[in-house]
Structure 1
Amino acid sequence: MTYYLGIDGGGSKTLAVVSDGTGRILGRGISGCGNHQLGVELADRNIREAAEMALAAAGLKQDDIAYAMFGLAGADREADFQILRPMVAAMGYAKYGIVCDTVIGLRAGTRQSDGVVLICGSGTNCYGMNAAGEELQVGGFGYEFGDFGGGTELAKEAFRAVIRAWEGREKPTALTELILNAAGYDNVSDMFHGFLDEGKRAPHTFAKLLFQVADRDEMARAILERQGRELGCAASAVIHKLKMEADTFEVVLAGSILTRGDGQYVVPFIERQVKEAAPDCRLRTLDLEPAAGALLLAMDRDGMNVAAMVYENLENDLSVKERNVEWVMD
């Protein structure tokens, strides 16, 4: 029997899964941050720990793995790979690959070789591959480099909306009561001065509050609409640059903001723009753990012809459709 290891290393957690060649999950392991940009030693330790847990659960050894695929947040540029290549090589797998976590998100979300993936978790990112195998990433480097949104930035926007409403620069917002409760303050004045005096920053959990009041709050809807338009803009840029306008493919939506929030306030604005760019594309919410994409890429790289049964087994074992999960900015 042939065995594969798939790693999804994100900013908040690392998930490792081991499968056989039929896609049955034999073991899994979870640890902390797997993004080297937040600490190389930390990421190294957590990735190793998650992989060792998955192997132990499967009753396998490292030498049993035919191919290991590492899908890692922060694997964006050559400067990143110069750090990651020796780090992963030192882990000792005979055959392995390293890609950005956007790549495994796309592979998990579509059975085609081509497509586009939009990620909106703690931050945002967009990646695409056309039918000729040409790849492009747009975004993923933060606000200063052109991005908008993700849980971290949306939390700031929610906090700013409350401050601006209190100051009279914006209309009153239903976010005020929720954010005061979440932050543990009785009024905005105390919160304003408390955050300044204590050097506090808006926690990412404020992002979910936007969805809770969006049905009745104009400001919350406007923030979420902007998130949708910005993501649609990134996907459209990928589509145009890769000349995919006439192609039929899927735009995979991944990350907490898109898969665990109420999509009606974000997704329609994504869809409007990508449909203008490529009328025959289809939006699809990722319903598998991205680690499934790492396993599928490992099988691809190993020369395996991935059969329908593999997808079915992965859907049975790694589906996130029905899981009642808390908001986690992955």
Structure 2
Amino acid sequence: MGLTGNGADRPAALAVDAGNSKTDVAVVGADGSVLSAVRGGGFQPPVVGAARAVAGLASLVDAALAQAGTARVGHLSACLANADLPVEEERLTELLTARGRSDTVTVANDTFALLRAGLPDEGPHTGVAVVCGAGINCSGLGPGGRTARFPAIGRISGDWGGGGHLAEEALWWAARADDGRGAPSALADRLPGHFGLASMPQLIEALHLREVAAERRHELVPVLFAVAAEGDAVARAIVARQAEEIVVMATVALRRLNLLDEPVPVVLGGGVLAARHPVLHEAVVALLAERAPKAVPQVVTAPPVLGAALLALDTTGAAPSAYDRLRTHYAPAGR
């Protein structure tokens, strides 16, 4: 069954952006109007299994469809965290298709939502995106629909960085600064101070005994950047390593797609990059200028579901005005 709204006379689409910590679902009219929106928890197939994760996602989809007054749409565009390998995308496509909420389904890693949000709607759809949030990942689109991507499943696939990793690095270096195994660093005082504790031994004990929940470790990332901005050598070295990893991923993807010599966007997003911490942002821009001088870095802060919705409009052949309406809804200032 098709859905129309605000003058649209073609089936609407479902846009899904499912990250590790939250999921956004929107029903979008063919004219680019957002007819309903629902937010829920994270999407974690490695933790709960693919079938259970999709069942949770389906409940959000059903809620969004109910708000929009329909049970089915023409196309579902799902950009999903933890869809890191082609075999995972295929399995998730099968599970979502079996739910019967749309005529067609496309599944992509959530990095492609960020990339699409940063690309011009009139084309060409070529460029690279690096997400640095809880983890780190990169994807790229080249001429003819060619793609470049990484498994991005942790250290076994060569990854370094993201908020979780940065918090662990900050703790490691702070512990060694405190006990003398490493160089002195203000991190040894500032990390425990964030939790109202007097020393690193107290913080180590609190984390080990779970008096400070492990989930709160991400709170240390802004502390790391603040200490780096004050000139602390240890903190700055950690941030410099993160900048290096971001630029390495981007340049490798550009090289794979033969785009190093083309003026294409390098889209930067995720909580760590979207915050524009000066020490990190300036290092990334400088390294990109050195290694990929024609790349055009840009930070996207619009909700990633915008990218999933734009991909849905690409599939349904929407008019240019639909893209403008959709972008205005999610990001009135542009990108």
SS at match of 1:29: strand
2:21 and 2:171 mapped to 1: Cα distance?
Answer: 22
* C-alpha spacing 1:128/1:188, structure 2 compared with 1 (3 Å): same
TM-score (norm 1): 0.88
User: In the alignment, is the contact (CA less than 8 A) between 2:24 and 2:305 conserved in 1?
Assistant: yes
| Residue 23 of structure 1: how far off its partner (Å) | 1.7
Q: Deviations over 1:46-85 (max 9, x none)?
A: 3113222322333x2132x221101001112133134313
2:332 and 2:242 map into 1 onto residues whose CA distance is 23
Asked if the contact 1:13–1:31 (Cα under 8 Å) also holds between the matched residues in 2, the reply is yes
Distance apart, 1:321 and its partner CA: 6.8
Given candidates 13, 33, 39, the residue that maps to 2:22 is 13
Q: Following superposition of structure 1 onto structure 2, how do residues 84-123 of structure 1 map, counting pairs within 5 Å?
A: 84-92=92-100, 93-111=102-120, 112=123, 113-123=125-135
Amino acid paired to 2:57: I
2:309 and 2:132 map into 1 onto residues whose CA distance is: 22
1:75 pairs with 2:83: yes
* Match in the other structure for 2:170: 158
2:246 to 224, 231, 250: 231
Q: C-alpha displacement at 1:305, in angstroms?
A: 4.5
Whether 2:274 is the aligned partner of 1:265: answer no
Using the alignment, how far apart are the partners of 1:305 and 1:18 within structure 2? 14
Q: In structure 2, what is the Cα distance between the partners aligned to 1:47 and 1:261?
A: 31
> In the alignment, is the contact (CA less than 8 A) between 2:93 and 2:105 conserved in 1?
no
CA–CA separation in structure 1 for the residues paired with 2:28 and 2:47: 29
In 1: Cα distance, 2:146 partner to 2:192 partner: 48
Per-residue deviation, residues 268-316 of structure 1 (Å, max 9, x unmatched): 33233333443222011113211111111112122x1451x33332232
Is the 8 Å Cα contact of residues 16 and 50 (structure 1) preserved in structure 2? yes
**Equivalent-residue separation in structure 1 for 2:152 and 2:253 (angstroms):** 13
C-alpha separation in 1, matches of 2:227 and 2:87: 41
Equivalent position to 1:251, from 266, 272, 284:
266
Residues 259 and 97 of structure 1: CA distance in aligned 2, closer, same or farther (over 3 Å): same
Alpha carbons 1:14, 1:34 under 8 Å: kept: yes
Shift of 1:197: 5.0
**Does the Cα contact within 8 Å between 1:244 and 1:278 map onto a contact in 2?**
no
Residue in 2 aligned with 1:124?
A: 136
- The residue matched to 2:145 in structure 1 has which SS? coil
Aligned twin of 1:36: 45
Contact 2:187–2:235, Cα closer than 8 Å, also in 1: yes
Contact between 1:8 and 1:70, CA under 8 Å: does it hold in 2? yes
Distance in 1 separating the partners of 2:107 and 2:327:
23
Q: Deviations over 1:186-215 (max 9, x none)?
A: 322222334345597572221121122222
- Per the alignment, in what secondary structure is the counterpart of residue 28 of structure 1? strand
CA shift digits 1:201-257 (9 cap, x unpaired): 572221121122222122222211111111100111111111112212100001000
What is the number of equivalent residue pairs in this alignment?
A: 317
Percent identity over the alignment is 27
Deviation of 1:102 (Å): 1.0
* Secondary structure of the structure 1 residue equivalent to 2:144: coil
The answer to whether the 8 A contact 2:192-2:203 is kept is yes
Q: Which residue identity does 1:278 align to in structure 2?
A: A
- Counterpart-to-counterpart distance in 2, 1:292 and 1:62: 22
- Alpha-carbon distance, 1:144 to partner: 3.0
SS where residue 164 of structure 1 aligns?
helix
Gap change, CA 1:16 and 1:267, over 3 Å in 2: same
Change in Cα spacing, 1:220 to 1:321, as seen in structure 2 (3 Å) is: farther
**Gaps (5+ residues) in structure 2?**
1-7
Q: RMSD between aligned alpha carbons?
A: 2.3
Alignment partner, residue 257 of structure 2: 242
Alignment-mate amino acid for residue 124 of structure 1? I
| 8 A contact 1:139–1:234 mirrored in 2 | no
User: Is 1:47 the equivalent of 2:57?
Assistant: yes
Residue number among 40, 56, 61 corresponding to 2:66 in the alignment:
56
Question: Would the aligned equivalents of 1:71 and 1:99 in 2 still touch at CA under 8 Å?
Answer: yes
Corresponding residue SS for 2:134? coil
CA distance in 2, matches of 1:317, 1:49: 24
Alignment partner of 1:66 is 2:81: no
Q: 1:287 aligns with which of 278, 298, 301?
A: 301
- Structure 1: unaligned runs, 5 residues or longer: 323-330
Measured in 2, the distance between the counterparts of 1:196 and 1:270 equals 34
Instruction: Find 2:288's aligned residue among 274, 285, 307.
Output: 274
Identify if the C-alpha distance between structure 1 residues 246 and 72 changes in structure 2 by more than 3 Å, giving closer, same or farther. same
